[in-house]
């Protein structure tokens, strides 16, 4: 993961690239122009590495859009956080307040840097192989950002703005695409090209693990097609990963969430971490850790699992204890075996699957010594192989084809008996149990399945059966997308329109 260290060893030029606020920014006076910067292979590496720097901010993949994933029935908001509570309740009061206002702009920042790489790569004096790798990375990173934006803010009535990357940044506001399909078509075209250019993970030297690779592009293609309800293509690209991607499920579910397996055969794409050296990485494990960490470490105490999630697991499902830690159960923290108790969690439980780095003595280098930024050496999965298998299973079922083989691959590792004649209900069950508390995003699953309104009309409960979150009013005509941040509407002078009903 040495390439991440280079992100911080940058010149004044690359600092300019990192500090930009998006493709629409005017370049600061006195900084080098694109034409004067993009010349050497080192310029390309420095510029491309700038795509990754924003990912380590606490409000990107630490919390960030996870405030919106938190809307699902799998978890509730820990502590008092008005913007998160209002978003979970689908209240427009969350608009124009807090960190959710920044999510749109943060992702366009990354798109802006990726566009600079793509726009200038032909000027670089280096080998074709090097150009192909970094062009593939830029196309992948742009696609990932566009997908996260489009899937959250776009629908059939309006998509998200598509930046013309062939030109230098335009100071004029760019209107939204006519619909989200335009965004998905754009993403698909880029990802297909990225997949052609990117190396396989096996072709990357170990020091560059964490960079996008061919199977990551195929997997994201499968997910985009799933959201497009293009079942045939979702099946095809998931199958590409399964047959050509050299991926396999780890035999033990708990091993997926251990730092020693950050780049195992189940890895697709993650937020890499290097706490021993730089204290960077996803802070999601620390975000989910008990608030104040029982006096030993500054956990933040958000995103607590519900009884509804706990009860979804079948008897004997090995994933339940890996996923959820509830009061009275033993665990290891800071090198000591403890019995879990909480003064913080409303549900009397916390997510357990990210706890492995905290089992070691806290000063051993597995967690950042600064608890104010509680990242760990676990590369938190953004997408992993099990989700690819479930994407193929869903695509098969939606085409009327059997998906028993795929679903039973997941069930076997969970210690469960195989099923025959698997239905969409079986798929939904396995997806929920397998991917709970992850960036796979159950809220978006419920929305795209048409299940959100009925699901959210029910209260959520703690492990003792007490109600911890009241029923909510989800209007599918409005809440199938989130509100566009008010700052984007204001800064565009109304060119960017709000989603209808918000």
Structure tokens at 190: 């880029």
Contacts of 234-242 with C-beta under 8 Å, sequence gap 24+, read 234/391, 234/392, 234/394, 234/395, 235/392, 235/395, 235/396, 235/399, 238/388, 238/389, 238/391, 238/392, 238/395, 239/392, 241/215, 241/268, 241/385, 241/388, 242/388, 242/389, 242/392
Query: How many whole angstroms separate alpha carbon 339 and alpha carbon 94?
Result: 37
Cβ within 8 Å of residue 129, ≥6 positions away: none
418 with 404: CB under 8 angstroms?
A: yes
> Which tokens hold the place of 42?
């080192």
> Helix or strand or coil: residue 230?
coil
CA 74 centroid distance within chain: 16
- 300 neighbors 287 (Cβ within 8 angstroms): yes
Q: Are 350 and 304 in contact (CB under 8 A)?
A: yes
DSSP secondary structure letter of residue 126: S
Q: Which ranges of 245-376 would DSSP assign to H, the alpha helix?
A: 284-288, 307-312, 319-323
User: Tens-of-pLDDT digits for all 502 residues of the chain?
Assistant: 445 444 433 333 333 333 333 332 323 344 456 667 898 999 999 999 999 999 988 899 989 999 999 999 999 998 888 999 999 999 999 999 888 999 999 999 999 999 999 999 999 999 999 999 999 999 999 999 999 999 999 999 999 999 999 988 888 999 999 999 999 999 999 999 999 999 999 999 998 999 999 999 999 999 999 999 999 999 999 999 999 999 999 999 999 999 999 999 999 999 887 767 677 777 999 999 999 999 999 999 999 999 999 999 999 999 999 999 999 999 999 999 999 999 999 999 999 999 999 999 999 999 998 788 899 999 999 999 999 999 999 999 999 999 999 999 999 999 999 999 999 999 999 999 999 999 999 999 999 999 999 999 999 999 999 999 999 999 999 999 999 999 999 999 999 999 999 9
3-state DSSP: the chain helix, strand, coil percent, rounded to 5? 50, 10, 45
Predicted TM-score (pTM) of the model is 0.93
Distance CA 332, CA 20 (A): 43
């Amino acid at each position: 993961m040495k390439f991440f260290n280079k992100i911080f060893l940058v010149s004044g030029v690359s600092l300019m690239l990192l500090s930009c606020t998006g493709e629409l920014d005017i370049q600061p006076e006195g900084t080098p122009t694109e034409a004067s910067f993009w010349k050497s292979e080192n310029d390309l590496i420095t510029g491309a590495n700038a795509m990754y720097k924003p990912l380590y901010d606490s409000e990107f993949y630490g919390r960030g859009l996870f405030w919106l994933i938190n809307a699902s029935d799998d978890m509730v908001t820990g502590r008092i956080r008005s913007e998160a509570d209002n978003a979970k309740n689908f209240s427009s009061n969350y608009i124009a307040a807090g960190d959710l206002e920044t999510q749109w702009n943060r992702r366009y920042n990354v798109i802006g840097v990726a566009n600079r790489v793509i726009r200038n790569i032909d000027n670089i004096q280096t080998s074709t192989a090097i150009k192909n790798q970094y062009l593939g990375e830029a196309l992948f990173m742009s696609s990932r950002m566009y997908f996260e934006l489009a899937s959250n803010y776009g629908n059939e009535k309006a998509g998200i703005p598509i930046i013309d990357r062939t030109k230098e940044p335009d100071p004029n506001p760019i209107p939204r695409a006519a619909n989200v399909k335009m965004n998905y078509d754009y993403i698909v075209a880029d990802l297909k090209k990225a997949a052609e250019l990117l190396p396989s993970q096996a072709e990357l030297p170990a020091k560059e693990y964490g960079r996008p690779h061919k199977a990551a592009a195929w997997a994201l293609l499968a997910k985009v097609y799933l959201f497009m309800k293009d079942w045939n293509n979702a099946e095809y690209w998931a199958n590409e990963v399964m047959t050509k991607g050299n991926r396999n499920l780890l035999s033990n579910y708990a091993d997926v969430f251990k730092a020693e397996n950050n780049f195992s055969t189940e890895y697709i794409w993650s937020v890499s971490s290097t706490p021993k050296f730089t204290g960077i990485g996803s802070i999601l494990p620390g975000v989910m850790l008990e608030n104040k960490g029982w006096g030993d470490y500054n956990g933040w105490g958000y995103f607590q699992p519900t009884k509804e999630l706990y009860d979804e697991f079948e008897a004997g499902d090995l994933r339940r204890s890996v996923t959820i830690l509830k009061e009275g159960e033993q665990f290891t923290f800071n090198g000591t075996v403890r019995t879990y108790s909480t003064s913080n969690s409303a549900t009397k439980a916390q997510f357990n699957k990210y706890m492995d780095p905290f089992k070691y003595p806290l000063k051993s280098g597995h967690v950042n010594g600064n608890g104010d930024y509680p990242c760990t050496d676990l590369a938190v999965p953004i997408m992993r192989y099990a989700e690819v298998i479930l994407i193929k299973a869903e695509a098969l079922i939606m085409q009327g084809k059997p998906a028993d083989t795929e679903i039973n691959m997941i069930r076997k590792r969970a210690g469960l008996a195989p099923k025959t004649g698997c239905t969409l209900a079986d798929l939904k069950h396995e997806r929920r149990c397998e991917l709970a508390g992850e960036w796979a995003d159950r809220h978006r699953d419920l929305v795209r399945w048409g299940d959100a309104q009925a699901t959210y009309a029910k209260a959520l409960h703690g492990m003792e059966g007490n109600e911890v979150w009241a029923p909510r009013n989800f209007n599918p005509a409005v809440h199938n997308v989130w509100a566009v941040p008010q700052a984007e509407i204001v800064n565009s002078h109304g060119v960017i329109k709000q989603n209808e009903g918000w």
